[in-house]
Structure 1
Amino acid sequence: MSTENKKDILRGGQFLVKETKCEDVFTPEDFNEEQKMMKDSVKEFVDREIWPKKEEFENKNYDLTEKVMRKAGELGFLGIAVPEEYDGLGMGFVSTMLVCDYISGATGSIATAFGAHTGIGTMPITLYGNDEQKKKYVPKLATGEWFGAYCLTEPGAGSDANSGKTKAVLSDDGKYYSISGQKMWISNAGFANVFIVFARIEDDKNITGFIVENDKENGISFGEEEKKLGIHSSSTRQVFFNETKVPVENMLSERGNGFKIAMNALNVGRIKLAAACLDAQRRVTNSAVKYANDRVQFKTPIANFGAIKYKLAEMATSAYAGESASYRAAKNVEDRIAIRQAEGSSHAEAELKGVEEYAIECSILKVACSEDIQNCSDEGIQVYGGMGFSADTPMESAWRDARISRIYEGTNEINRMLAVGMLVKKAMKGHVDLLGPAQAVADELTGIPSFDKPDYSELFAEEKEMVANLKKVFLMVAGSAVQKFGPDLEEHQQLLLAASDILIEVYMAESTILRTEKNAKRNGEESQKEQIAMSKLYLYNAVDIVTQKAKEGIVSFATGDEQRMMLMGLKRFTKYQNMSNVVALRNTIAEKLTSENEYCF
């Protein structure tokens, strides 16, 4: 890849301070033929093997989950990201996102089993294992002959993952470690053949990773299947290790490197979780649209009522925004991996660094998409009315399955604070220039505003200016907060939560607008009529959220003249000159949905 192309690819977090051209973003409309075929293949598999069996999945049929996962392995879906030399397909990061997207939508049970196996079950060995470990384990995991699970969480170690108490003691002859401890909330525990286990050696500061084969004769035992709100057929058990002997050659990476493995696994898991929420939103929206068209009240389909149009439009818009942002970030990761490999990095090192570069975007997407599927399924229940509360309709299980997405891969609260924290750290390292743009915003606040009439003749000219102003809002709030609190900023969690919501809305709104602008340029604006409406609707909502969160942040730490100036700046930066008729936007989107009788974007 040329040096010139490298400059075109923004580093993680730079979206906040640099302009992105629509031509430089990847969209779902850019899938190549191979990706389109893979998408169709996965959808056909889900519609045949998973969607018709939703009732069985709700009745805790763990054997069915294992059976479906084994079939997925036979078709190659479990090995998309695995290099060909280990019996995988060796496809790019966008393709791995695509498969995760479309295999996860029908039920959260398969979404969880798939994510736990391909991500945190297989990936640590693929990326951190030595040659012998990869050759021994990865081919079996890639083909579905074996299944993997990830043992990190303990009763006293959740978000604080490095505080685990599980111990690993080296034998006197130095040939094996004896692992003892308790792990909980272990997905795939009931049928896993191999565990990635994290334990502490002696009094090491950081935990260490181990590859542990499931052998009940080797001190491994299990709790009963957990009784859960959702994901009923996802096997979730406690796993107990009682002096389980693990050969020293099964240490994963180096001693004390477990925390790093865990954190990097979570980065990948977060962006993949975002993808796993997308088809779920499409399917919920499809069901809601069909029901709204079929359900007649007061002698007319309820799809004709404005209240229902409101819900359908918002559901579709959040799905479209999630797609836009997720695949934008996925291609950024893929391009960064390619750059690393061109510079001589191994596949494993390139992928680790490629994903780590966009850890901020991974956290943003995890939060946004997990909350969107929760809201989407909640509105889906409402469209169904009383029937939505019944387990005989798909909405009830979709709502329950969606709830876990806000918890695993790091709670949304943790991810919100991480996004801002990582951005500040990148700025301190010089990877993202926040200081210069933040100072420019501060100078603008004390300067005389321009009264020139802007030219909004081009598509999205005003909307892109508004996104740029929302970025100024973040820089104003976060810049002042960093200046005031310095390294103590992390102690002000509610302020960080407010700032992160601004950051999230900026990234999601910009991604949505850039996708639509790109497609309008190549296919004509008329072909993107509804997508233009969704982009404007998303921005309309984003401005409201940013205004509320920025005000909350400002009044939490600024007083007197500083507070008044920042609130005036907020009013200036969130002023929408030619706001669209938001009711008309929603009607345009909803009428397209009901005419096609499905999510059709």
Structure 2
Amino acid sequence: MAKIFSKDDVASHAKGDSPWIIIDEDVYDVSKFQDEHPGGKKILQRVAGKDASKQFWKYHNEGILKKYKAQLQVGSLDTKKVEASAPTPEPTPAPAKAESTPAAPSEFTPAATASPQDPYGELIPFADPSWYQGYASPYFNESHAALREEVRTWVEAELEPYVTEWDEAREVPAHIYKQMGERGYLAGLLGVHYPVSHTDNRVKAVPPERWDLFHEMLLMDEISRAGSGGLVWNLVGGYGIGCPPLVKFGKKPLVDRILPGILAGDKRICLAITEPDAGSDVANLGCEAKLTEDGKHYIVNGEKKWITNGIYADYFTTAVRTGEDGMNGLSVLLIEREAGGVSTRKMDCQGVWSSGTTYVTFEDVKVPVENLIGKHNQGFKVIMTNFNHERIGIVIQCARFSRVCYEESMKYAHKRKTFGKRLVDHPVIRMKLANMARQIEATYNWLENMIFQCQCMEETEAMLKLGGAIAGLKAQSTQCFEYCAREASQIFGGLSYSRGGQGAKIERLYRDVRAYAIPGGSEEIMLDLSIRQSLRVHGMFGMKL
């Protein structure tokens, strides 16, 4: 039980070797922190024995408090009200099934009653999806609410306080990725059923037979609340686009050999498609794979560029040219680093610093034909099928990053004063917040609809019918993110131009914007594709013009 102190108790620690300070009615012993404080001892000594809330929030964000609270807080003031914590909803036991597989797409039934979940979070309007705030939703039920609580607790304790530190170091500690495996999160991010036969790890809040695409969406969304594209790409990026082709199109012996180590968080995988001279123009890739005379191996030579997680990867899901020019000469191979001939060099990019963006070179790499993913010279289908999942992941992240920009701006606008008024009391600032909110909600509701359609369709049908719409949504989400990052930067002013401090998330996310607008298909190509593909599909439906 937390200790209770009066203001006089705190004041008695104004001098000497054990200075205490007050932040938001919590009491902190900063004696051991004095030498670590970036501003030096004197700043802490000036507020020793006093309420330092105003000074703290002037220079710091919530992440700093979360990072040091556990080791420095010694209690709270006797004036602080104790908030009764709401009980965590218990997931309803799922009906027993013979096998741990999801319902077939045609059997999917949304939450028909659309009963609202209990309000959750800080309830800042539009800072979370509406179903967090007591509004009814046909898509989310008590299992999603339980997962939300589980993931948010983990993110706030283990990720958010350290994001800035990891970003500056250009790396996320390996044990965090391992936790993703141990907590069952990696297994839930494949865009398919939960692979119970390849891992014993389970998501605590959701039985595997109940896992659906909205759980996957929610998991990625909550991790993105940390406000770092580099963090999300480190944990989800290479894995989330490199592993699904293996699971969906790999031969069973290959999957059985490779997948368990990946799902456990012991091995890492990435997707290697983009080359120095070929990005969105996938059909013109040049990395070459030639069959040996005995037909037992491919010999791979070529280069790949901007490969997320490549520096850490044990496996590379690689697009290679095995035949004629164009889309009909492509295959996909799982290349194993330990085969030799694979070299990787980390790239220094504008944003997503901790993602491990990599330049990869393959020199006479010997790959068994058993490592072919899909069929020989039919890899274009594997690549195209994977794009929907990749782009939906980008949309989820962009929607949440946009909310982070909005939420940080809303909080800052309520405490920063200019010309004698809070920022939020200026109509021009409210207009910025309103425009951010309307774009966020439009993007997010389109996202929910696309997730629902993917849930209801078989994958080939979804690739055909939804490819155009998802491409358009990808462009919508990245433009929304860029808009919100810019407007947040305007609201924060100079604080968003400096790394660290109150504007840390905004400065970092602004750097990450281009990493979302270009990869996965640039905005221009996505918008053109959205119309071309949609016209083609609706022509097949009998469109009349």
TM-score, scaled to structure 2: 0.69
Task: Pick one of 149, 158, 161 that aligns with 1:40.
Answer: 149
Distance 2:473 2:237 in 1: 18
Task: Pick one of 535, 539, 542 that aligns with 1:424.
Answer: 535
RMSD: 2.5
Residue 113 of structure 1 pairs with residue 234 of structure 2: yes
C-alpha contact 2:166 2:172 (8 A) present in aligned 1: no
Distance 1:396 1:4 in 2: 44
Unaligned runs of 5+ in 2: 1-102, 111-134, 203-207
Residue 222 of structure 1 pairs with residue 331 of structure 2: no
1:255-274 equivalences under 5 Å are 255-274=376-395
Which residue of structure 1 aligns with residue 195 of structure 2? Answer: 83
Task: Pick one of 75, 95, 108 that aligns with 2:215.
Answer: 95
Deviations 1:350-394 (A, max 9, x none): 334434431122112211111111111111111111212121222
Change beyond 3 A, Cα 1:141–1:356: farther
TM-superposed deviation, 1:47: 1.6
Q: Secondary structure at the match of 2:353?
A: coil
C-alpha contact 2:482 2:510 (8 A) present in aligned 1: yes
TM-score, scaled to structure 1: 0.63
Change beyond 3 A, Cα 1:333–1:304: same
The residue type paired with residue 299 of structure 2 is S
TM-superposed deviation, 1:54: 2.5
TM-superposed deviation, 1:403: 2.2
- How many pairs were matched up? 401
C-alpha contact 1:322 1:369 (8 A) present in aligned 2: yes
Which residue of structure 1 aligns with residue 427 of structure 2? Answer: 306
TM-superposed deviation, 1:316: 1.9
TM-superposed deviation, 1:70: 2.0
Which residue of structure 2 aligns with residue 144 of structure 1? Answer: 265
Which residue of structure 2 aligns with residue 292 of structure 1? Answer: 413
Which residue of structure 2 aligns with residue 366 of structure 1? Answer: 474
Deviations 1:68-98 (A, max 9, x none): 2222221111111442222274621222122
C-alpha contact 1:264 1:356 (8 A) present in aligned 2: no
Distance 1:94 1:161 in 2: 29
Identity of aligned residues (%): 26
Distance 1:374 1:134 in 2: 39
Residue 206 of structure 1 pairs with residue 329 of structure 2: yes
Segment drifting more, 280-289 vs 90-99: 90-99
Task: Pick one of 494, 503, 511 that aligns with 1:400.
Answer: 511
Q: Secondary structure at the match of 2:321?
A: strand
Distance 1:199 1:135 in 2: 23
Distance 1:133 1:356 in 2: 28
Distance 2:336 2:104 in 1: 44
Task: Pick one of 162, 165, 171 that aligns with 2:283.
Answer: 162
Which residue of structure 2 aligns with residue 339 of structure 1? Answer: none
Q: Point out which structure has higher relative CO (alpha carbons under 8 A, 6+ apart).
A: 1
Q: Secondary structure at the match of 2:289?
A: strand
Q: Secondary structure at the match of 1:62?
A: coil
TM-superposed deviation, 1:406: 0.7
The residue type paired with residue 263 of structure 2 is A
C-alpha contact 2:106 2:456 (8 A) present in aligned 1: no
Distance 2:105 2:236 in 1: 35
Change beyond 3 A, Cα 1:270–1:128: same
The residue type paired with residue 207 of structure 1 is L
C-alpha contact 1:116 1:188 (8 A) present in aligned 2: yes
Change beyond 3 A, Cα 1:43–1:29: farther
Deviations 1:11-48 (A, max 9, x none): xxxxxxxxxxxxxxx98564111111112222222222
TM-superposed deviation, 1:128: 0.9
C-alpha contact 1:267 1:356 (8 A) present in aligned 2: no
Change beyond 3 A, Cα 1:319–1:249: same
Distance 1:308 1:385 in 2: 12
The residue type paired with residue 320 of structure 2 is A
Distance 2:344 2:105 in 1: 53
C-alpha contact 1:198 1:258 (8 A) present in aligned 2: yes
Deviations 1:279-337 (A, max 9, x none): 2122221111111111012222111110110111112222222221111110111012x
Change beyond 3 A, Cα 1:416–1:124: same
Change beyond 3 A, Cα 1:243–1:228: same
Which residue of structure 2 aligns with residue 51 of structure 1? Answer: 160
Which residue of structure 2 aligns with residue 60 of structure 1? Answer: 169
TM-superposed deviation, 1:242: 0.5
Which residue of structure 2 aligns with residue 577 of structure 1? Answer: none
